[in-house]
Every structure is written in structure tokens, then in C-alpha cells.
């Protein structure tokens, strides 16, 4: 029991996360000591000698104890103090980057490609402001740039391989999968491809890839602009968890001198709400912190609910941090609008029918006290909010009703 | 009959179909009562005003070429040229004596009537053409249509007293002929008067009578005029027809009336064609029904009693037409045997289920195309399209087309129309055949495979799946999931009278799937243990409404109330851009006896003796519409989509559907 708590705390600690990413040799030993399965969610990415061209850390999400997606998120904005994170990043970030370049230069052979995609992706991923999907998009663009393919077909196959390896890197991340898919769609769907010679076609592809990366990168800003019309003076906004988009939205609103106040949920178990309240306090926005169970209690004061999304699914519903569904239900029953801010690369071709109909993304939960081993703990990290409880989605494609999501998805994917 | 039904024709204001000022003839014609009309079963036939058994193919607007008698060789868009029908009818008489089931006397009207009065009944059954042919005046030249006016008119006049004396039996024939007379000249100003003439026959030779006389005289005059200058009229008319009409059905006999009212009516007609793209025929629109009947191949006997709200749907006596049609087989030269076979299979119910019907139809068309050779002075695209249209209307008469078949036909016609004129005949034919093959393959077979892949990904271990009726895609989903080794249980919900679920149950059990079988009455009881509901669909409409086997809506609503996800499996070629809000406007009526009688159960056949009673109406609906609110997901070949995305698929892939 004791061990369980320590483990939970250990998992949460940023040092573990960063260490884990670096794949320190003594790391495995420690994990062994902690009886953690060896099939760790993080790839042996930076070990250059690793002959495995396609490391698949998450082959079966069911066997994994923790979702890699949430690990990344925790690394980016968990309870980690930001200066510590900056330090850690400064410490860790440089070395692997050099290594990556070296690895790219050393093994330029096509067999090394998927390997380097992951590296590239990991490099991009280290920027806390860059979403995982955007990092993947950037990494894939780099694949095209570094490709030594001589035909379009070859290039496409290479790209496909790279995106597959990225996707299998973390099967629990919806936006990663969706971002890769969308990139493939966007980049390879150029009508003029067949009429050009390979080099110009390749430059065109690179152009498109860069453009897509730019669009994805700017998506947050676009969403923030679009949502300004909906935030009025004197309103009270309830937010759940920490979402970079929502933060951007609120930041823009605060900067344009709007007067509003924000209710932040605590965002258990990783208490991401605390971090958001910190950020908002820095912007001089009045913030009130609620425990997650006080949502219904304070809903009558709330004018609108703003949430982010891990993924937007085909039905128009969203998959988001645990607790979103119940907030949406409460808001719906009190006739408060629920707004979702989500970039279009989070649109995924998934269609969950109910809460259990998703790939599980598990996350350890710390209760502070020992939990008897007979007691089962629900460790699922996210839930699914059906479209009928959502009012509008703010995306970089525009302000959409939930039913339009599927229209956009059909147009994006088919 | 009861007062309500009897009074129905009188307040009828809507006259959408045609210019005929006389509202009465339709029921009488279809009923084909003999002039003496004293026999009890027949006497009530006019009052019941059942309508003609024929459907017109959806896209056609036949108001123009109705008056024209088709030439046998001509590639008409309409189902059947009259000579064949005539032969068929004759044969019918001869044959039905033998095959006619005495038990059905009360129900089957047409055979009995054809026995009563030969010449007249024939006349009443098929309208003017028979008359023409009987009097030996059927000719291929244009003006011939005008000749038969005098005889018709004279009969009408001769019969008038009869009508006055016998208002109840309504001298069916009389009315018919009157209609014939008045319909042809059809000047607009007569419209308000004419109904009164036919609807109030009681007063002794009063206004109405005189008016009728006047009418007929006018008609005679018109006829004379037309005879005087038949050629010009005909040519003018035909030119005009070619302009206004899309279909270039050769005008054999052109109605004088049409040529007379050139100006205003033409535009009116155009307008009508524009704003009434009725995809299905409204069977309470008598004039249209009447017209449709004239060109029918299948002499479907219409049911006597029909439920008030569903009069606009065709309801036929079941089991009477099959023998009749089979007997006609050798006479119907222009009907390709493959078409004929499939039509009969529809009629007999041997082929059912949207996909099966559609594939059978397409394969029959493929056969047709293979055996097709362009007649001299025709072009393949036009002639073949016309031929296919006529076949389609034949199918429609056998059983109303499903929307998926409509889409397939649209695809085929589009392919034919888009054929490059530079192709040789054999090339075009083979191109069409490959197109049909591709449609079947890509839109049905492969689509099913994709759907199965998607849908079985939603089947989890420990699931309890509820299915209703027997949908072949759903069955494939279940079997595939079973083959994948998923542990689940199936509850097959079934309903009378078709009990299709039993067949499904048998196949599932044979494969070792755990099954529970129950009827729809128990659906609310079993629903609490169900985790997912899988349903098939005949069609999915633009507003997300699912048009499917009757009972589906009930199952979906119960599931919704229990918060059980409802998954519809439906190929995208069945999507339709139409919007439907209820199950009433468009539906199909099955055999009403099927719900009245329980085969093999003598103890519950309470309705045996009352089924002919006037105040009992049996309604056997075939389909119903499930609103989109009760549907969680539609699994289609483009993936899993919410019902709100159906219009997107329809919009984005309509071109795709047509061109592949």
C-alpha cells in the first residue's frame, strides 16, 4: 500500500517523466524496483545503437499502466513548477537534439527513417507550447525534407511508415493520430502532383507540409480571435482543467480589456486547474478555484462553460479530461452554453457510442491516503461528452455546431 | 359503403393531375362495373372508389402524352403500348376462367367484370384505346384519335337516361365515357361545371344533364374540326410536344383538346411539371391513376377497402395478378424475359430486401443491354433510356420501387446519357455493362464489406445485441463479429406477419451464435439487458430519418428510452436527398389479409367472416420512418457518421454516385 502511494507520487514527479524520456540506464533498474512493467510507454528513442527501427512503446494500451499522452501533458504543464521545467528542459533539451542531428547524419539510410521521425518528434515535443500533433506534423515535414526517395510512390510509402510509427508511439493520443492522418491527407492530396517531375513535386510537398504546420501552429490564435465575440463584459466563465487553447482565448480576452471572471475547477488528479488559475492570476483575471465536485453548486453563477478537448470525434462530441462530461451535463440542465475550443487537427475519425467505447487512457490517481488493495480505482483519464450537450465548437475552421464536425471530417478525410 | 367514404369524392378540390374537368371517371373506370350493375358485389364498387392499380414511374409527368396512343414499335417511356394490353386483356378473360379462384370472387373484380359485358367492360377497363381498336379505327396515323369521338359520344348520350334512373349503380360506363368526352375538348371554362354534372346525377334531366349534352356537342364539333384539318393540328401539336416534353414519345393520336388550348394551358402545364416532381404517384389523385392504369401491363386489382389516411398509396389485391402476368409472358414482346422474370419475382415476393432487389434489377438491366440492338433511326442513349424507363415502370407495377433502386436507376440512366457519341454500339454496351458491374461491386458488395468492418469494431465482448427483422448487412456484421471470436449474444426481435427474423435466427444459430428470439411486443422487456441495437434500413433520408421495415421506429424509440445506442447499417447508395417527417406520405401497403389472418391457427381467425364488412379496414404498412433523434450512428461505406451528416454524403457524393 505504501508502495502504491509512493509509486503514484513517483509517476507524477516531473523528474521521472523527463528521466524516462532520456532513457537513462539506471532508470530501468529503478523501475524494476518499483515493479513497473518493462514495456514502458516511452520509446528507447535516443539510444542510437538501438537497432529497432520502429519502436512501439504502446503496443497494447491495455497492458500499459499510464497513457503516454498524459505523461507528455504532465511534463508540459503538470504540477511542475514552470521554472523547474525550464531548467530541466534546458538540461535535457540540448543533448538529445545534438544526438538527433548526429543520428540523422550518421544513418541517413532509408532504414533509419522511422527511427529519426520519432527523434524529430521528440525534439519538437519538448516545447511546452507546441501541441503534440503539431510536433508530429513538423516531424513529418522533416521526413519529406530528409527523404532520399526518388519517386513519389517511394516518398509516400516512406511518409506512411513514418506516420505509422508516430501513431504507434502513443496510441492513446487522439490528436497525434488525427494530426498524422490529416497531414497525410493534406500533403499528399495535391492534384498537380502527377504532372511535375519529382523534385518540383517534392518541393511542393514540402511547401504544403510547412504550410500545414504553420496553419496548425496558428490555430490557437485563430480560435482565440473567433471566440472573442462570445465573451462579454461581466460574464463568468467556468473552465475545466488546463487547456492551452482556452488559456489563449482567455488571455486574448483579458488583453482586449474585457471584464470577466473565471471559475477554475481543480482538475483532479493532476490538478491542472491550479496551473490555469496561476496563469490567469498573472493576467489579473479574477479567478475562483473550485473543487471538481462544486461544479453544480456554482453553476447558477456561471454564464458559459469553456473547455478544451483532447479530441473531437465524428459525432461532434468531444473526448476530454475526466469531468468534462458531468460539467456539460450540469450546464445543459441549467441551460448554460458549453463552448469547446479545439484545433482542427484534433478532429479524429472516431465514433464512441458511450463512455467505455474508447481506447482507455489510464492515469494513476493519488488519493493522499493508502487505498486498500481490494478497492478498485477508476484510473481512466478522460471521458466522452456527447454532442447534444455541447453548444458550439471554436475551431480554426470557424465556429461550428457539433453536427458540422462530421461534415468537416468527411471533407477532410474522404 | 359507409357515409364517410361515399362522400369523399364530393369535397375533393385538388385536381393536380390533369385537365380533365370531370372528377368522377377514375374510380368507375378502375372498377369496371358492368352497366346493369345489379349484382351485389359489384354494385358497391363505385362507392368504394378504389383506385387504379397502376403506378407511374416516378420521374415521368405524363400529362402530355396521355392522350396519345402509343404505337407498338415506339420506344415509349410509358410501360406498355396498348395492343399488347389488349391482347393481354383478351387472354386474361380466357385464362382467368380457368385459373380464377372462386374464393376470391368478391375481391377480384376485373375478371368478373370482364365476363359480364365484353365490349363495354373492356372499354371501361382501358379507356379509349380499346374502343378505338374495337371499332377498327386504331391506326398509326396521327389524326385517328379524333375519329372515335362520335361513337363514344353517342354511347354517352345513349346511356344518359340510364344514369338518371340508376344513380346508385352509377352506370359506371356512362360516367367513363362522359369523362372521355369531356376530357378531350377540356376547355378551361368548363372545369367548375363539369364536376357538378357528374356528381349530381339525380335531378331529372336538369341543368347538369343539359350541360353534359352541351359538352358532348361541343366535343363533337371539335372532333369535326379536327377531322377537317388533322394534319396541321397534328404537326403543330407534335412540334410543340417535342419542345415541351423531354421524352420524345411519338405522338400517334393527338388529342384535339390539347391542340386547341395552346396558349395558356401550355405554360400552366409546364408549371405543373415544374412544381410537382412527385416522386411517387398519389393514388388518391384519380385522374392520374386513371391515366396510369391505361398503360399498365400488370392488371393489378385494387383493393376494395382502403384506410382513409393511406388512400394515396397503391393497394392491390394480392395473389390475383401473378397467374395473370405469367400467362401474358408470351404476348409481351417488348418486355425482355430477364425483366419479366425479375418483375414476377418482385410480385411474388421471391426477391425481397433492398440489396437483393436492386442487384436483381441491375442484373436484369445488364441482360437487357447485352441483348440490345439499336433500332434504325434511333440513337442508343435515347432509345435505351426510354426502354429502361418502360422496364422500370413495369417493375413499379410489380412492386413499388425502393429508394435505393431509384438511385441505381438514376445512376444507370446517367451513365447511358453520358455515353460518348463516338463509341460504337458494342463499345457503349460493354461500357454500360461494366458500369453496372462496378455499381454492384462498389456500391453494394464492397460497401457491405466496409460496413461490416466498421460495425463489427463496435461489437465488444460481453455485448448483447438486439436486431430487428432480417437485414442482410446486420446479419453479415453479426457473423463477422462471431468469426472474429467476439463473445456476444444476440436478441432477434421479430414481428408478424413476415416473421423474417426466424430465417435470420436459423442462420445465426447454425453458425453457433447465442440467440434469443422474441416478438416486438416484448421489446421493452428485453431492452434493459441490451447494450447495442443494430438495425438495417431501406433508405436514409436527408434529415437523418431512417426509412425501414415497419417496427424499426418502435425498436429505436424503446432503445433510446433505455439509453441504448442505436446503430443503423446502411450503404450510402441508399441515401436519398428527400426529406420525410412521417411514415404516411410515402410508404408501401402490404396485403391487408396478411394481418387479418393467422395461418394455421383456426382459433384466432376471428376476422374470417368480418373481413368483408364495410366498417373494417385493415392496414398493413411495410415501412416506417425513424426520426434522426433516435439514431446514434449510421454505419455506411464512408465510415461511421451521425445521422446529421447524411446530407453531406448525399451532397458530396451525388456526383460520385452517378459517375462512380
Please give the DSSP secondary-structure letter assigned to residue B539: E
A357, A406, A413 member nearest B645 (Cβ): A406
Residues 592-651 in B contacting A (C-alpha not used; CB under 8 Å) = 632-633, 638-642, 644-645, 648-649
A316, A354, A413 member nearest B642 (Cβ): A316
Contact B381, B426 (CB under 8 A): no
Asked whether residue A339 carries a pLDDT value surpassing 90, the answer given is yes
So what's the pLDDT on residue A106? Answer: 37
- Work out the pLDDT band at B15, boundaries 50, 70, 90: very low
Q: Which of B467, B462, B468 is nearest to B478 (CA)?
A: B467
For the segment B60-66, the average pLDDT, to the nearest whole number, is 40
- Work out the pLDDT band at B333, boundaries 50, 70, 90: low
Asked whether residue B338 carries a pLDDT value surpassing 80, the answer given is yes
pLDDT in tens, B622-640: 899 999 999 999 999 888 9
Q: Which residues of B touch A178 (CB under 8 A)?
A: none
Is the CB of B450 inside 8 Å of chain A's CB atoms?
no
Contact B565, B532 (CB under 8 A): yes
Chain A: closest CA distance from residue B293 (Å): 44
Which of A53-57, B177-181, B355-359 shows the highest mean pLDDT?
A: B355-359
What is the number of other CB atoms lying within 10 angstroms of the CB of residue A33? Answer: 9
User: Torsion over CA of B228, B231, B233 and B238, rounded to 10 degrees?
Assistant: 160
Q: Which residues of A touch B657 (CB under 8 A)?
A: none
Take residue B328 and report the three cell numbers written for it: 401474358
Tell if the CB–CB gap between B652 and A410 is shorter than 8 Å: yes
Give residues with Cβ within 8 angstroms of A246, minimum separation 6: A239, A276, A306, A307, A308, A341
So what's the pLDDT on residue B207? Answer: 65
Tell if the CB–CB gap between B648 and A411 is shorter than 8 Å: yes
What are the Cα distances from residue A173, in Å, to A5, A147, A405, B153? Answer: 26, 26, 19, 83
pLDDT in tens, A294-320: 999 999 999 999 999 989 998 999 999
Tell if the CB–CB gap between A403 and B649 is shorter than 8 Å: no
User: Which of A353, A388, A414 best probes binding to B when mutated, by most B CB atoms within 10 angstroms?
Assistant: A353
For the segment B292-317, the average pLDDT, to the nearest whole number, is 66
Q: Exposed e or buried b for every residue in A101-111, given b needs 16+ CB within 10 A?
A: eebbeeeeeee
Q: Which residues of B touch A407 (CB under 8 A)?
A: 645, 648
Beta strands in B528-622 (DSSP E): 532-536, 539-541, 546-549, 566-569, 575-576
User: Which of B642, B643, B649, B650 best probes binding to A when mutated, by most A CB atoms within 10 angstroms?
Assistant: B642
Q: Which residues of A touch B641 (CB under 8 A)?
A: 314, 351, 406, 410
For the segment B316-336, the average pLDDT, to the nearest whole number, is 62
Q: Which of A107, A49, A175, A52 is nearest to A39 (CA)?
A: A52
For the segment B372-397, the average pLDDT, to the nearest whole number, is 85
Q: Which residue has the higher pLDDT, B414 or B296?
A: B414
Asked whether residue B189 carries a pLDDT value surpassing 50, the answer given is no
A314, A403, A407 member nearest B640 (Cβ): A314
Chain A: closest CA distance from residue B510 (Å): 30
A354, A403, A410 member nearest B649 (Cβ): A410
Tell if the CB–CB gap between A413 and B565 is shorter than 8 Å: no
A349, A357, A411 member nearest B652 (Cβ): A411
Tell if the CB–CB gap between A407 and B632 is shorter than 8 Å: no
Is the CB of A413 inside 8 Å of chain B's CB atoms?
yes
pLDDT in tens, A17-43: 444 444 444 444 444 444 434 344 434
Query: Range with the lowest mean pLDDT among A198-207, A221-230, B179-188, B514-523?
Result: B179-188
Q: Which residue has the higher pLDDT, B374 or B166?
A: B374
Q: Global pTM?
A: 0.64
- Work out the pLDDT band at B328, boundaries 50, 70, 90: low
Work out the angle between the directed axes of helices B207-228 and B149-165 (0-180°, nearest 10).
Answer: 170
Alpha-carbon gap, residue B215 to B433, rounded angstroms:
53
A345 alpha carbon, distance to own chain's centre: 10
Tell if the CB–CB gap between B633 and A315 is shorter than 8 Å: yes
So what's the pLDDT on residue B76? Answer: 33
Tell if the CB–CB gap between A353 and B642 is shorter than 8 Å: no
For the segment A141-154, the average pLDDT, to the nearest whole number, is 79
Q: Which residue has the higher pLDDT, B232 or A245?
A: A245
A353, A403, A414 member nearest B644 (Cβ): A403
Chain B: closest CA distance from residue A119 (Å): 32
A353, A410, A411 member nearest B565 (Cβ): A353
Q: Which residues of A touch B458 (CB under 8 A)?
A: 353, 357
Give residues with Cβ within 8 angstroms of A93, minimum separation 6: A126
pLDDT in tens, B136-158: 343 334 444 334 444 444 444 44
So what's the pLDDT on residue A28? Answer: 41
So what's the pLDDT on residue A239? Answer: 94
Is the CB of A96 inside 8 Å of chain B's CB atoms?
no
Asked whether residue A389 carries a pLDDT value surpassing 70, the answer given is yes
For the segment A340-357, the average pLDDT, to the nearest whole number, is 88
pLDDT in tens, A38-58: 344 434 333 333 444 444 444
Query: Range with the lowest mean pLDDT among B89-103, B269-283, B301-315, B430-444?
Result: B89-103
* Greatest C-alpha distance within chain A: 67
What are the Cα distances from residue A175, in Å, to A21, A380, B512, B542? Answer: 20, 18, 40, 31
So what's the pLDDT on residue B493? Answer: 94
For the segment A167-176, the average pLDDT, to the nearest whole number, is 81
Alpha-carbon gap, residue A259 to A238, rounded angstroms:
14
For the segment B79-108, the average pLDDT, to the nearest whole number, is 37
So what's the pLDDT on residue B150? Answer: 43
Contact B349, B591 (CB under 8 A): no
So what's the pLDDT on residue B102? Answer: 38
Is the CB of A122 inside 8 Å of chain B's CB atoms?
no
Asked whether residue B477 carries a pLDDT value surpassing 90, the answer given is yes
Contact A45, A114 (CB under 8 A): no
Beta strands in A85-169 (DSSP E): none
So what's the pLDDT on residue B326? Answer: 62
Kindly write down the DSSP assignment for every residue of A341-395, as one continuous string. E--GGGB-S---SSTTSS---B-----SSPPPTTS----B-EEEE-GGG--EEEE
Residues 375-404 in A contacting B (C-alpha not used; CB under 8 Å) = 387, 403
User: Which of B532, B575, B640 best probes binding to A when mutated, by most A CB atoms within 10 angstroms?
Assistant: B640
Please give the DSSP secondary-structure letter assigned to residue B527: G
What are the Cα distances from residue B312, in Å, to B102, B289, B292, B538? Answer: 29, 10, 14, 20
What is the number of other CB atoms lying within 10 angstroms of the CB of residue B660? Answer: 14
For the segment A209-219, the average pLDDT, to the nearest whole number, is 82
- Work out the pLDDT band at A12, boundaries 50, 70, 90: very low
For the segment B209-228, the average pLDDT, to the nearest whole number, is 65
What is the number of other CB atoms lying within 10 angstroms of the CB of residue B284? Answer: 19
Give residues with Cβ within 8 angstroms of B255, minimum separation 6: B67, B68, B145, B184
pLDDT in tens, A53-103: 444 444 444 444 666 666 666 655 544 444 444 544 554 444 333 333 333
pLDDT in tens, B498-552: 888 999 999 999 999 999 999 999 999 999 999 999 999 999 999 999 999 999 9
A357, A403, A413 member nearest B642 (Cβ): A403
CA nearest to A413 within chain B? B638
Is the CB of B73 inside 8 Å of chain A's CB atoms?
no
Alpha-carbon gap, residue B109 to B284, rounded angstroms:
19
Q: Which residue has the higher pLDDT, A134 or B457?
A: B457
So what's the pLDDT on residue B149? Answer: 42
Q: Which residue has the higher pLDDT, A75 or A373?
A: A373
So what's the pLDDT on residue B414? Answer: 87
- Return left, alpha or beta for B512; rule: phi > 0 is left, psi -120 to 50 is alpha, else beta: left
Please give the DSSP secondary-structure letter assigned to residue A263: E
For the segment A124-131, the average pLDDT, to the nearest whole number, is 73
Asked whether residue B218 carries a pLDDT value surpassing 90, the answer given is no
Q: Which residue has the higher pLDDT, B656 or A222?
A: A222
Cβ burial of B158 (10 Å; 0-12, 13-18, 19+) is exposed
Asked whether residue A110 carries a pLDDT value surpassing 60, the answer given is no
Q: Which residues of A touch B639 (CB under 8 A)?
A: 314, 349, 351, 410, 413-414
Asked whether residue A255 carries a pLDDT value surpassing 50, the answer given is yes
Secondary structure (3-state) at B303? coil
Contact B572, B605 (CB under 8 A): no
**What does DSSP say about strands A382-385 and A398-400: parallel, antiparallel, or unpaired?**
unpaired
User: Torsion over CA of B43, B45, B49 and B53, rounded to 10 degrees?
Assistant: -160
pLDDT in tens, B595-625: 877 777 777 777 777 767 777 888 888 899 9
Cα-flanking dihedrals φ and ψ of residue B544, to 5°? 85, -5
For the segment B353-369, the average pLDDT, to the nearest whole number, is 90
Q: Which of B77, B572, B56 is nearest to B314 (CA)?
A: B56
So what's the pLDDT on residue B558? Answer: 95
Which of A146-150, B319-323, B562-566 shows the highest mean pLDDT?
A: B562-566
How many pairs of residues across A and B have Cβ atoms under 8 Å apart? Answer: 48
So what's the pLDDT on residue B298? Answer: 57
- Work out the pLDDT band at B564, boundaries 50, 70, 90: very high
**What does DSSP say about strands A392-395 and A398-400: parallel, antiparallel, or unpaired?**
antiparallel
Tell if the CB–CB gap between B458 and A353 is shorter than 8 Å: yes
Q: Which residues of B touch A314 (CB under 8 A)?
A: 639-642
Average pLDDT taken over every residue of chain A: 74
Q: Which of A100, A151, A105 is nearest to A123 (CA)?
A: A100
So what's the pLDDT on residue A366? Answer: 81
Asked whether residue A105 carries a pLDDT value surpassing 50, the answer given is no
Asked whether residue B104 carries a pLDDT value surpassing 50, the answer given is no
Residues 548-567 in B contacting A (C-alpha not used; CB under 8 Å) = 565, 567
Is the CB of A353 inside 8 Å of chain B's CB atoms?
yes
Amino acid at each position: 500500500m505504501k508502495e502504491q502511494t509512493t509509486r503514484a507520487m513517483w509517476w507524477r514527479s516531473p523528474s521521472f517523466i523527463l528521466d524516462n524520456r532520456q532513457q537513462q540506464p539506471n532508470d530501468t533498474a529503478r523501475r524494476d524496483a518499483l515493479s513497473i512493467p518493462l514495456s514502458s510507454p516511452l520509446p528507447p528513442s535516443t539510444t542510437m545503437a538501438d537497432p529497432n527501427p520502429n519502436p512501439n512503446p504502446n503496443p497494447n494500451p491495455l497492458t500499459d499502466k499510464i497513457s503516454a499522452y498524459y505523461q507528455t501533458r504532465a511534463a508540459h504543464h503538470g504540477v511542475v513548477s514552470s521554472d523547474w521545467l525550464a531548467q530541466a528542459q534546458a538540461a535535457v533539451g540540448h543533448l538529445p537534439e545534438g544526438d538527433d542531428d548526429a543520428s540523422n547524419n550518421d544513418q541517413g539510410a532509408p532504414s533509419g527513417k522511422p527511427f529519426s521521425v520519432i527523434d524529430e518528434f521528440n525534439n519538437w515535443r519538448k516545447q511546452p507550447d507546441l501541441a503534440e500533433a503539431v510536433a508530429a506534423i513538423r516531424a513529418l515535414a522533416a521526413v519529406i525534407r530528409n527523404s532520399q526517395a526518388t519517386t513519389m510512390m517511394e516518398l509516400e510509402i516512406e511518409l506512411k511508415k513514418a506516420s505509422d510509427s508516430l501513431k504507434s508511439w502513443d496510441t492513446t493520443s487522439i490528436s497525434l493520430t488525427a494530426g498524422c492522418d490529416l497531414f497525410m491527407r493534406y500533403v499528399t492530396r495535391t492534384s498537380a502532383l502527377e504532372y511535375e517531375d519529382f523534385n518540383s513535386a517534392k518541393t511542393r510537398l514540402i511547401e504544403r507540409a510547412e504550410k500545414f504546420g504553420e496553419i496548425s501552429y496558428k490555430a490557437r490564435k485563430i480560435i482565440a480571435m473567433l471566440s472573442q465575440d462570445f465573451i462579454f463584459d461581466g460574464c463568468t466563465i467556468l473552465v475545466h482543467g488546463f487547456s492551452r487553447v482556452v488559456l489563449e482565448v482567455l488571455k486574448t480576452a483579458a488583453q482586449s480589456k474585457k471584464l470577466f471572471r473565471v471559475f477554475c475547477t481543480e482538475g483532479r488528479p493532476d490538478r491542472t486547474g491550479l496551473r490555469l488559475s496561476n496563469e490567469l492570476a498573472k493576467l489579473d483575471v479574477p479567478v475562483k478555484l473550485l473543487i471538481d465536485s462544486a461544479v453544480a453548486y456554482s453553476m447558477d453563477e456561471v454564464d458559459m462553460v469553456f473547455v478544451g478537448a483532447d479530441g473531437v470525434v465524428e459525432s461532434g462530441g468531444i473526448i476530454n479530461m475526466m469531468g468534462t462530461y458531468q460539467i456539460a451535463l450540469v450546464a445543459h440542465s441549467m441551460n448554460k452554453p458549453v463552448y469547446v475550443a479545439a484545433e482542427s487537427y484534433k478532429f479524429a475519425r472516431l465514433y464512441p457510442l458511450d463512455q467505455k467505447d474508447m481506447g482507455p487512457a489510464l492515469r494513476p490517481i493519488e488519493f493522499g491516503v493508502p487505498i486498500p488493495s481490494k478497492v478498485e480505482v477508476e484510473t481512466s483519464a478522460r471521458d466522452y461528452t456527447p454532442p447534444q450537450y455541447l453548444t458550439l465548437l471554436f475551431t480554426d475552421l470557424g465556429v461550428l455546431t457539433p453536427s458540422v464536425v462530421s461534415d468537416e471530417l468527411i471533407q477532410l478525410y474522404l | 359503403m359507409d357515409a364517410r367514404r361515399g362522400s369523399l369524392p364530393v369535397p375533393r378540390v385538388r385536381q393536380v393531375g390533369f385537365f380533365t374537368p370531370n372528377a368522377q371517371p377514375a374510380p368507375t373506370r378502375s372498377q369496371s362495373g358492368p352497366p346493369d350493375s345489379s349484382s351485389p358485389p359489384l354494385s358497391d364498387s363505385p362507392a368504394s372508389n378504389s383506385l387504379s392499380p397502376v403506378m407511374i414511374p416516378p420521374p415521368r409527368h405524363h400529362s402530355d402524352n396521355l392522350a396519345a396512343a402509343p404505337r407498338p414499335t415506339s420506344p415509349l417511356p410509358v410501360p406498355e403500348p396498348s395492343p399488347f394490353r389488349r391482347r393481354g386483356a383478351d387472354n386474361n378473360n380466357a385464362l382467368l376462367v380457368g385459373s380464377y379462384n372462386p374464393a376470391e370472387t368478391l375481391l377480384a373484380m376485373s375478371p368478373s367484370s370482364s365476363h359480364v359485358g365484353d365490349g363495354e367492360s373492356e372499354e371501361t377497363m382501358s379507356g379509349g384505346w380499346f374502343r378505338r381498336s374495337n371499332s377498327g379505327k386504331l391506326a398509326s396515323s396521327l389524326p385517328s384519335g379524333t375519329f372515335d369521338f362520335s361513337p363514344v359520344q353517342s354511347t354517352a348520350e345513349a346511356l344518359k337516361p340510364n344514369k338518371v334512373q340508376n344513380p346508385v349503380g352509377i352506370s359506371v360506363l356512362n360516367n367513363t365515357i362522359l369523362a372521355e368526352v369531356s376530357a378531350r375538348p377540356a376547355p378551361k371554362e368548363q372545369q367548375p361545371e363539369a364536376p357538378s354534372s357528374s356528381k349530381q346525377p339525380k335531378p331529372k334531366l336538369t341543368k347538369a344533364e343539359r350541360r353534359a349534352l352541351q359538352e358532348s356537342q361541343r366535343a363533337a364539333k371539335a372532333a369535326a374540326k379536327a377531322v377537317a384539318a388533322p394534319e396541321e393540328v397534328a404537326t403543330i401539336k407534335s412540334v410543340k410536344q417535342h419542345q415541351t416534353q423531354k421524352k420524345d414519345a411519338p405522338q400517334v393520336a393527338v388529342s384535339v383538346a390539347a391542340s386547341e388550348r395552346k396558349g395558356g394551358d401550355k405554360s400552366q402545364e409546364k408549371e405543373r411539371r415544374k412544381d410537382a416532381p412527385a416522386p411517387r404517384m398519389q393514388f388518391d389523385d384519380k385522374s392520374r391513376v386513371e391515366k396510369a392504369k391505361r398503360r399498365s401491363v400488370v392488371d393489378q386489382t385494387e383493393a376494395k377497402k382502403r384506410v382513409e389516411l393511406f388512400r394515396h398509396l397503391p393497394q392491390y389485391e394480392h395473389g390475383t395478378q401473378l397467374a395473370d402476368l405469367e400467362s401474358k409472358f408470351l404476348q409481351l414482346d417488348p418486355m425482355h424475359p430477364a425483366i419479366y422474370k425479375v418483375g414476377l419475382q418482385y410480385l411474388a415476393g421471391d426477391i425481397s430486401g433492398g440489396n437483393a432487389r436492386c442487384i436483381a434489377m441491375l442484373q436484369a438491366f445488364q441482360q437487357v443491354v447485352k441483348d440490345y440492338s439499336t433500332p434504325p433511326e434511333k440513337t442508343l442513349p435515347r432509345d435505351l433510356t426510354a426502354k429502361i424507363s418502360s422496364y422500370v415502370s413495369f417493375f413499379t407495377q410489380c412492386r413499388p420501387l425502393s429508394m435505393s433502386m431509384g438511385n441505381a436507376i438514376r445512376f444507370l440512366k446517367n451513365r447511358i446519357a453520358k455515353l460518348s457519341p463516338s463509341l460504337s454500339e458494342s463499345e457503349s454496351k460493354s461500357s454500360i455493362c461494366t458500369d453496372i458491374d462496378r455499381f454492384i461491386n462498389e456500391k453494394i458488395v464492397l460497401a457491405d464489406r466496409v460496413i461490416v468492418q466498421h460495425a463489427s469494431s463496435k461489437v465488444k465482448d460481453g455485448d448483447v445485441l438486439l436486431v430487428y427483422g432480417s437485414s442482410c448487412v446486420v446479419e453479415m456484421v453479426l457473423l463477422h463479429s462471431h468469426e472474429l471470436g467476439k463473445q456476444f449474444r444476440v436478441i432477434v426481435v421479430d414481428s408478424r406477419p413476415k416473421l423474417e427474423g426466424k430465417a435470420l435466427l436459423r442462420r445465426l444459430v447454425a453458425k453457433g451464435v447465442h440467440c434469443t428470439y422474441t416478438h416486438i411486443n416484448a421489446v421493452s422487456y428485453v431492452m434493459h439487458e441490451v447494450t447495442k441495437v443494430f438495425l438495417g434500413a431501406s433508405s436514409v433520408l436527408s434529415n437523418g430519418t431512417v426509412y425501414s421495415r415497419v417496427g424499426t421506429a418502435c425498436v429505436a424509440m424503446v432503445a433510446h428510452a433505455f439509453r441504448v445506442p442505436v446503430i443503423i447499417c446502411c450503404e450510402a447508395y441508399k441515401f436519398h436527398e428527400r426529406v420525410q417527417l412521417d411514415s404516411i406520405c410515402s410508404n408501401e401497403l402490404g396485403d391487408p389479409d396478411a394481418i387479418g389472418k393467422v395461418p394455421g391457427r383456426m382459433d384466432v381467425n376471428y376476422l374470417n367472416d368480418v373481413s368483408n364488412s364495410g366498417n373494417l379496414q385493415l392496414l398493413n404498412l411495410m415501412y416506417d420512418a425513424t426520426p434522426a433523434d433516435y439514431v446514434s450512428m449510421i454505419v455506411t461505406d464512408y465510415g461511421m457518421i451521425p445521422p446529421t451528416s447524411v446530407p453531406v454524403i448525399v451532397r458530396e457524393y451525388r456526383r460520385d454516385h452517378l459517375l462512380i
